[in-house]
A and B are shown apart, each in its own frame.
Chain A
Amino acid sequence: MTDNEKQRRPLRSRPTLRELITFGVVSLALFISLAIAPAKNYFSDWRHYQKSYLSLAGQRQGGTLVRSFHTGIRQIWVPKLSVVDRCQSCHVNLDGALVGATQQPFRKHPPIPHQLDEFGCAFCHRGQGAATSVEEAHYTTEAWEQPLLPARYLESGCGQCHLGTVQGAPRLNDGRKLLATMGCVHCHNVVQPDGTQLQPDDDPPPLLHIAEKTSREWIYAWIKNPQAYAATATMPNFQLSDQDAADISAFLIAQSTPSPASRVAVKAPGNANPDLTQAATVYGSSFCASCHAVQNEAGNLVGGNFGPELTRVGSKVNADWLRRWLNNPSDYEDSTRMPHYRFDEKQIALLTGFLLNKKDNDLLANVHLAPTDADSVARGKRLVTESGCAACHKINGVTPPQNFAPDLTRVGSRALAQVVFAPGMKHNLPDYVDAKIRNPRSFGPGLKMPKFTLTDAQVDSLTTALLAQSDRAATMPKELLISGGHESNYHPGGDAGRLMEDLHCQSCHMINGKGGDMAPDLSAEGSSVQRAWLLEFLNNPNTLRPALIRRMPKFNLTQGEINTISDYILSAYQAPGLDSHTIDPKALGPDAAAHGKELFYSRFGCNACHIADYKNDKGYVGPALSGVGNRLTPAWTYKWLKDPNALRPGTLMPNFALKDDEARDLTAFLMTLKAKQGGGK
């Protein structure tokens, strides 16, 4: 073979048909595989929605709205919070540029207190922020497990940064309150992102001396079904068998020791049938109903929910115990919130008779317990220990369990892989939390969590509060967290302090950051009221607000006790920046008062809410002012009129932005109102 021959020979022969077909198929396959990505992009959900948005905008507004629109993926990126949310790729009209679009995904986002790009979308709504298809963004798919949060739990989003009360988020606030008042946090550990551990606020009674207070039969009936005794009871139902309940009641009676109260001698009343009308008067004038509710004949609860419901109390308590309790509750239970009324023997007899008469004979009619034996007590103790009763109640010989129930600090982000669902449930976290609260024992036998009595709204609230305990919240930059207010540990000191603790003033009154919210805050009471009025008020607390049912009770204090408390209040509880020099008494003359009266009635319409003169005025919102000249100090009145919220945050009284002379003249007028309190109508 010559070199020429070599050169003339073609490098390759003509392709065979087979080769052509193979080449065609491979090219086509290559082309299709290359085209998948652009096609997916072209037919993507977001492109479809952006096109329909543009056509809708073209029909309605056209012009700049259409011209300024840039097609493409849109995202909110907040590196600090690791937020990458592409929801706006479909929800293009969140800012409402296209007016009147009512259909999703083009609805305008309703007003919220944050910018939409401040935290992104998935922060509150959950779902998959980074996803770009409808399916993946909203629902659980194989790759993601975070579906969109149902609207009723949305407030959990707020709760990830706002750790205290949030304005405009009632469900979250209720839920957090319920965690404390239903006693959830006795057993479950819930730590907020700022390190605050939620504390219980339900005051379960210690059972150390229970045998003095009630019978074994009542304990049996109560633990079998607490709500049968009192519809408002927060004690959950442990769904105990008859035998278990009998054993527990046997143990609780057996562990009971005598209380200090048992050493107090009380006289049994001479008359076994007290005058119930007179007794009802004592019950009424002592304002027991401010804290305790009783079901009336129509089935409605009348009274407060601060203390236990008393509808069937006569079927529960022992008469001697009740007399000692009314004599001084702290003798029996030193941690009680009930004040020490200074009742005399007659009042105690009347009230005892009145309360013991509140009976339900059916409650214990069918309870017949076998006599206690050692086995029963031992079994009862084991049940009490295993059920975790001591997590809430003090019980002799049983130590409170530690970490008794699962920690709920991050329950809002619990991985579904770790969750055991009950049969037939939807596999998502909110439904799981909801079902656990609603019906904990439905998840299988042997579970310890008892069944609580909650309304649907309460379950929603609790679920909302728990969903706020998310990983996102736990890893939030600390500067974004807004902690809730913490209760101070203020206690009044000295003799007066001891007296005020005995009366449990702080059960109702907030003082220096500690106390209840049922009655006015007393932190600045000393600069507010005049001494003579305070003495008279403590002697006979005549209400300033005639329409209210809740009132300050009469504690039957001695004159010495009244002096001690008054002196303390007047010297210790002073508002800062306010003293007798705040306003010159000489400026409060009759001319000023006359002008003030005009302002009161004509200019500011104060009589809409306040009664200055019982003959003509009818306003029922604020306290009656007919005797305010004897009650308040001029300095306080002046400052109050200028800025009420500065002296009592959250007061209903609006700030009228008064000028100095207006406030002065109104003060002058108010100081002339010296009618005897409640002086006729």
Chain B
Amino acid sequence: MKRSIVTLTLAATALFAGCKHAQVQGPHPTAYGAAITEVSGSKQVAQVGATLPQPVVVQVNGGDGNPVTGALVRFRGQGLQFTPAEALSDASGQVTTNVQLGFQNGDYQIIAETWKQDGTANSLALREIALGFEQTLGRQVNDQYCIRCHDSESTPERVSNLDNLSPAPHQFSDGATLNRISDTDLLNMITRGGPALGKSPQMPGYASTLKPAEIKAVLSYMRAVADPPYQSPGVKYGK
């Protein structure tokens, strides 16, 4: 009897120690911040399953607005994998993580959290965009045709034509404008050109150049990269 009590006590201690151990996993913060802000890395566009081309960098600031070194930052997000998932802020108050997107196309949300002295969390939500097959095809068509006029960035191989045009074309990320135009109208404009909707003839129709699937893919890509995000008009459910 006595022996079994001893065993039980030992087992309970071991179990407790085990739980305790699980709690202190990961780095221990040496400082606490009052706010967390993004440095870079949100709104990146990548294929499903890909590691984002740039790491996500956040910064922990103290109450005085100066960066805090040694604060714990933890990243989470459904379907996302972080390397590392938690770390202490470095000498400039920053934490850098590489993010791998999940299986599903669409928007992903990164939550970066840091803790205050009193145990309450400060969090920051960042959006990342994953492209499925259709959007990837759309991006490919975009990179070949649309981007020349619909993107203000220039590269050595490709000079942006956006500033040469009047009225200026909308960038595909310009959700504020494009989200208000229906799928039908956008498809019509890509297929039959600007004049189909009383817009500039400088937007040519692509009916005889692109396949219908490619035009649909471009639309799908535009909707994916829209900022603010595009909400399709159909029924919405909570789950």
* B29: Cβ under 8 A from any A Cβ: no
* B178: Cβ under 8 A from any A Cβ: no
- Residues of chain B lying within 8 A (CB to CB) of residue A168: 133-134, 136-137, 140, 217
**Residue in B50, B136, B157, B202 whose beta carbon sits within 8 Å of that of A608 in the complex:** B202
- Residues of chain B lying within 8 A (CB to CB) of residue A110: 104-105, 132-134
**Residue in A111, A619, A621 whose beta carbon sits within 8 Å of that of B133 in the complex:** A111
* A457: Cβ under 8 A from any B Cβ: yes
**Residue in A60, A167, A302 whose beta carbon sits within 8 Å of that of B137 in the complex:** A167
> Are the CB atoms of B235 and A621 closer together than 8 Å?
no
Say which one of B15-23, B66-74, B87-95, B158-166 lies at the interface with A: B158-166
Contacting residues of chain A (641-681) with chain B, CB-CB under 8 angstroms: 643, 645, 652, 654-657
| Nearest opposing residue in chain A for B102, CB measure | A151
**Residue in B51, B220, B237 whose beta carbon sits within 8 Å of that of A60 in the complex:** B237
Residues A604 and B140 in contact in the complex (CB < 8 Å), given A100-B237, A654-B209, A657-B207: no
> Are the CB atoms of B205 and A654 closer together than 8 Å?
yes
- Residues of chain A lying within 8 A (CB to CB) of residue B50: 152, 171, 457, 460
Most chain B CB atoms below 10 A, which of A110, A171, A645, A657: A110
**Residue in B47, B144, B161 whose beta carbon sits within 8 Å of that of A152 in the complex:** B47
- Residues of chain B lying within 8 A (CB to CB) of residue A102: 237, 239
In Å, the complex CA distance between A302 and B155 comes to: 11
> Min CB distance, A652 to chain B, in Å?
6
**CB-defined interface of B205-239 with A at 8 Å, one 1/0 digit per residue?**
11111000100010010000000000000111101
> Are the CB atoms of B148 and A605 closer together than 8 Å?
no
- Residues of chain B lying within 8 A (CB to CB) of residue A457: 50-51, 53
In Å, the complex CA distance between A112 and B137 comes to: 10
Residues A151 and B217 in contact in the complex (CB < 8 Å), given A604-B204, A655-B209: no
> Min CB distance, B58 to chain A, in Å?
21
* A636: Cβ under 8 A from any B Cβ: no
> Are the CB atoms of A620 and B161 closer together than 8 Å?
yes
> Are the CB atoms of A153 and B213 closer together than 8 Å?
no
- Residues of chain B lying within 8 A (CB to CB) of residue A621: 148-149, 161
> Number of residues in B with C-beta < 8 Å to the partner?
47
| Nearest opposing residue in chain B for A302, CB measure | B156
- Residues of chain A lying within 8 A (CB to CB) of residue B159: 547-548, 620
- Residues of chain A lying within 8 A (CB to CB) of residue B145: 652, 654
In Å, the complex CA distance between A456 and B99 comes to: 12
Which 6 pairs from chain A and chain B are nearest by CB? A151-B49, A168-B137, A152-B49, A608-B202, A605-B202, A618-B164
> Min CB distance, A454 to chain B, in Å?
13
Q: Could you name 25 residue pairs across A and B whose Cβ atoms are closer than 8 Å?
A: A99-B234, A100-B234, A100-B235, A102-B237, A151-B101, A152-B47, A152-B49, A168-B217, A171-B50, A457-B50, A460-B51, A547-B159, A548-B159, A550-B156, A605-B202, A607-B202, A608-B202, A608-B203, A618-B164, A618-B165, A619-B165, A654-B204, A654-B206, A654-B209, A656-B204
* A7: Cβ under 8 A from any B Cβ: no
> Are the CB atoms of B47 and A170 closer together than 8 Å?
yes
> Are the CB atoms of A656 and B49 closer together than 8 Å?
no
In Å, the complex CA distance between A168 and B138 comes to: 8
- Residues of chain B lying within 8 A (CB to CB) of residue A153: 49
Q: 5 additional contacts, CB 8 Å, given A605-B201, A608-B204, A618-B164?
A: A102-B239, A110-B133, A167-B140, A302-B156, A547-B159
